Structure 1
């Protein structure tokens, strides 16, 4: 990748600007740093549109390739994070529109032609039961989020999951701040309703105290009352 002299001339030699210059010059460490720093946010935003882990990873890689090939267009008017987020969202929306067209035409989805490198799955050394419980809870939250209408889903992911401010979310999605607040309120209400429907029946079995534990306590009480046989 050639050195982009216009970026080098227009941006100060510190922090993010220096990182951008190095990435534009083909510095692998700088590219790796940028990707790792933004992976989680961009993945969540893309997945909020596509609701598919596999599609989200593919589109995110497309977005990175598009961004790194066009760093000359980045002039620092917005943060690098915002610039990358917009590119990723646009890529996701383009994929979604293509999928909808294919469904309408009843045609099979064409395989993606680029060489996509799958992201490795993370491993955990935490307690297996706790990890399983966390995964089940996360699965319920992910399912509830996926069930949101797209307009609410994007706002919810940006505000709640990614922690962006109202102003940042509004700028990212091109919405008035008041609309962001309204959609977030409705998204939270929908998710709360869905989670209550799914978790409610399970809660009746929470904090079980039966079997041996119940018998042991009963015997102890009877003994202290002098009623044990």
Structure 2
């Protein structure tokens, strides 16, 4: 299934689109179950996109919440020219970008008056590891490492990376949502991947010398076994 078929019910997924139309119509009538269903359908996608912009879990939650409030309070403005999911995502992106812009302006103002920062889990071979405390801890460490590295990317590259490699939107969809030229999306994705690899390498390479340790008791045991065979 195409990614926007999944999230917005467009293209060939007509039954899902019709189901979503029903939810939207019920939401217009303040139906709580319909509103909950819409929120649950889009929560993760919107959070990830917003988080890529504001770089804070707490602020991303605030932005997502505000975006939902704005959307459900103004459903009469949704005319169906675009898919509902596209309309909703744009509201969230605009809210996130507005927050970021406002924060930047506030920081500049303060400076003038002052006296004086689960994608690449597969790449690390952690995508389908058994559930146990050790693997959970390792996944958490890797996730934190990736998130920290991703946060170092400039915003224009970070949001494209999240939309393409984390959420799976294709080039055309990403370009449409961000109002960019498709070639610009390709270029930014290429640079984002390169910068992320570089950032991860800088954080991981100091630990390469500790990989596959074979010393201490294990080393001594090997010597004992070799000597025993000899």
TM-score, normalised to structure 2, is: 0.81
CA distance in 1 between partners of 2:32 and 2:190 (Å):
42
Equivalent of residue 143 in structure 1, options 129, 145, 148: 148
1:76 is displaced (CA, Å) by 2.2
CA distance in 2 between partners of 1:181 and 1:14 (Å):
32
Structure 2: gaps spanning 5 or more residues: 1-14, 112-129
Q: Quick check: 1:203 aligned with 2:208?
A: yes
TM-score, normalised to structure 1, is: 0.82
1:151 is displaced (CA, Å) by 0.9
CA distance in 2 between partners of 1:151 and 1:28 (Å):
36
- Alignment partner of 1:59: what SS? helix
Q: Quick check: 1:99 aligned with 2:103?
A: yes
Deviates more, 1:23-32 or 1:178-187: 23-32
1:54 is displaced (CA, Å) by 0.9
**Which residues of 2 match residues 6-45 of structure 1 at below 5 A?**
14-45=18-49
Q: Give CA deviations for 1:100-128 in whole Å, capped at 9, x if unaligned.
A: 11111118xxxxxxxxxxxxxxxxx9422
Q: Quick check: 1:169 aligned with 2:169?
A: no
1:82 is displaced (CA, Å) by 1.2
Structure 1: gaps spanning 5 or more residues: 1-11, 108-124
Provide the residue aligned with 2:126 in structure 1.
Answer: none
RMSD: 1.8
User: After TM superposition, which residue ranges in structure 1, 4 or more long, deviate above 4 angstroms?
Assistant: none
Equivalent of residue 88 in structure 1, options 88, 92, 95: 92
Provide the residue aligned with 2:160 in structure 1.
Answer: 155
CA distance in 1 between partners of 2:197 and 2:64 (Å):
29
CA distance in 2 between partners of 1:224 and 1:49 (Å):
62
Deviates more, 1:13-22 or 1:183-192: 13-22
Higher helix proportion: 2
**Residue-pair matches, total:** 197
Equivalent of residue 70 in structure 1, options 71, 74, 78: 74
